[in-house]
Structure 1
């Protein structure tokens, strides 16, 4: 029998659930705060770190984070309380599909476009962009964090990635920006995660588990956990490293 304490801690080394550095996050927050938003909506928020930073940077602003993972939402609520933002930020455990939470002055969707569309990728990205256009208030801003192919992956690289990975699964960066324009946005800022940001994220994503495995080699869960984390690392190092990019698009809705 195992208890919660027998499991490795989860994602405690990550400030953000994605390849996002402190410097880039600061620039994003500064640009968004300069628009003086009253309301901020975070789709697929996880623990909502960027949501909390934007709300915290704008006196009087309020925010809502929507996600279906209770553990991450609890982490977000605890962080909001610690920063004195619990009266201004709500973390809602609910689906974002057809959400009625908008319109908001700032809408964040970082690595969570699948929460807005059940279509297979890359069509899901286009559908998510149209959904985001309906969630942002006139004159507002959307920040979309989305994967794209840096280049067309080889057959061997695809085979080393996740199950059923496809060469048409992601758009190119140009195709992603075109999809945003087609959905009714103008791209104010187009940024992509650096190799350092990817390495910090990938290592931080597994660090808790790796330390746990080093300390608990004979644990009943060790073999299963080791196989899972080794497969994740191999997928990155042999598959999508240098192939899969991640873009941060700051978008303004066309009036």
Structure 2
């Protein structure tokens, strides 16, 4: 029998799996709820916090969250049960690629466009936007959370990021919005994550692990865990901090 101390807990301090503040989430939910959606589809949903909030804000609305991470989906189901939404929200463990779950009145895709295309980035972003256009109902809304370069990264910054990071891996914000227009949308709202949102997410992403490492320095897996989390933090602080942005685009399909 294993102890709960054998491994650090996972992402318990995060509300959203991305740099998204409570204030921005409230604004997004209010704007989406005002359109009176009957159906909500969340692709790469994780534990579906925004999905649950949109469905909860619209009486009678139903939602589907799609992801391949079973642990996150279980967290989403537990949250739906706690909020009295278990009969209105389904969390499905399946791939979002070529999904037949649409069309829906609201389609969410936050930090998960790679689940909609097998192409290499940034082509995957373009293909994901085309897929989203086919999944949203007429008069509906898409909210896409997508990475973009705030400026061209230097060679040293790229070397400090994830393996094989490339200067052409992301679009600029202007090119990202243009790609959405070319895919058949009009951009209703163009927002970008703030430094504060990034810091809250990045710190929260590692907080559980850092607390566990502080309490279990001699654990057999501590060295490997410490190396992993130190590399993640360095990638942010020495690599993509102030370089990689996250855009939140609220898009309306062109009839």
1:188 aligns with 2:197: no
1:178 aligns with 2:186: no
CA distance in structure 2 between the partners assigned to 1:84 and 1:6 by the alignment: 33
Unaligned runs of 5+ in 2: none
Unaligned runs of 5+ in 1: none
CA distance in structure 2 between the partners assigned to 1:174 and 1:163 by the alignment: 26
Structure 1 match to 2:158 = 158
Structure 1 match to 2:212 = 212
Q: Aligned-pair distance for 1:253?
A: 0.1
CA distance in structure 1 between the partners assigned to 2:82 and 2:186 by the alignment: 36
- Spell out structure 1 runs of 4+ moving beyond 6 A: none
Aligned to 2:20, the other structure's residue is in SS state coil
Question: Superposition RMSD on alpha carbons, in Å?
Answer: 0.9
TM (normalized to structure 1)? 0.99
Q: C-alpha deviations, 1:53-110, integer Å up to 9, x for none?
A: 0000000000000000000000000000000000000000000111000000000000
Pairing 1:1-255 to 2, within 5 Å after superposition: 5-255=5-255
Q: Aligned-pair distance for 1:164?
A: 0.3
Aligned to 2:35, the other structure's residue is in SS state coil
CA distance in structure 1 between the partners assigned to 2:5 and 2:99 by the alignment: 36
CA distance in structure 1 between the partners assigned to 2:172 and 2:8 by the alignment: 36
Q: C-alpha deviations, 1:165-188, integer Å up to 9, x for none?
A: 000000000010000000000000
Aligned to 2:129, the other structure's residue is in SS state helix
CA distance in structure 2 between the partners assigned to 1:95 and 1:195 by the alignment: 32
Q: C-alpha deviations, 1:108-146, integer Å up to 9, x for none?
A: 000000110000000000000000000000000000000
Aligned to 1:6, the other structure's residue is in SS state coil
Q: Aligned-pair distance for 1:2?
A: 5.7
Query: CA, structure 1 residues 129+211, in 2 after alignment: closer, same or farther (shift >3 Å)?
Result: same
TM (normalized to structure 2)? 0.99
CA distance in structure 1 between the partners assigned to 2:167 and 2:4 by the alignment: 39
Aligned residues: 255
CA distance in structure 2 between the partners assigned to 1:27 and 1:129 by the alignment: 23
CA distance in structure 2 between the partners assigned to 1:111 and 1:37 by the alignment: 22
Q: Aligned-pair distance for 1:3?
A: 5.7
Aligned to 2:166, the other structure's residue is in SS state coil
CA distance in structure 1 between the partners assigned to 2:116 and 2:4 by the alignment: 32
Q: C-alpha deviations, 1:198-230, integer Å up to 9, x for none?
A: 000000000000000000000001000000000
Aligned to 1:59, the other structure's residue is in SS state coil
